[in-house]
Amino acid sequence: MSEPVRVLFVCLGNICRSPMADALLRHKLSEKGLAGAFEVDSCGTGAWHRGEPPDPRTQDTLRAHGVPVVGRARQVSADDFERFDAILAMDRSNLAKLKRMAPQEHAHKIALALEPTTGGEVPDPYYGDGDGFERVYRLLDDALDRWIGRWTS
């Protein structure tokens, strides 16, 4: 059996965007019978929410789409750069921070989560209302389908 593809999603606090991407990718992979071929996780560049579950608005959005909520917030660690094959940042600020942190031999693993679609940023919905979380879901939904296509082709 080959090694799983290891995917890490990263945002600022790991309670909104990256746990949504984590849960959504796990759900998509499970539906396609590919869960065993992947290892998925998420983290934040900051430690403010370490140990907390995803934001209630993230949970509500996931549940509204039939996606199980997973994980607790954690901060990115030096080991993550070695362990993961793809490290997908939600925005350019976190992308830049990850690139500064990464050993040079692992810098090629880091990209924006929306790279296969718009190439833009996943907006941070934390200070907005529930509509922002739905927008994040839609952006990730499309991008993750394309990432799965790349990883499985």
Write out the catalytic residue numbers.
11, 17, 124
Could you tell me how far CA 3 lies from the centroid of its own chain?
Answer: 20
Run means of pLDDT, 10 residues per run, the chain, 153 residues = 90 97 98 97 96 97 97 97 98 98 97 97 90 97 98 93
CB neighbour list of residue 11: distance below 8 Å, 6 or more residues apart: 17, 18, 42, 44, 45, 89, 90, 91, 94, 122, 124
**pLDDT value for 129:** 73
Which segments within 2-81 are labelled E, that is strand?
A: 5-11, 38-44
Please, what are the domains in the chain? 5-152 (3.40.50.2300)
d(CA 131, CA 115): 23
User: If 0-12 CB within 10 Å is exposed, 13-18 middle and 19+ buried, where does residue 104 land?
Assistant: exposed
The pLDDT assigned to 2 comes to 80
Query: 10 Å Cβ neighbour count for 21?
Result: 29
Residue 130: predicted pLDDT: 67
Output phi, psi for 112, to 5 deg.
-80, 140
Q: pTM of the full predicted structure?
A: 0.97
CA atoms of 117 and 151, how far apart (whole Å): 15
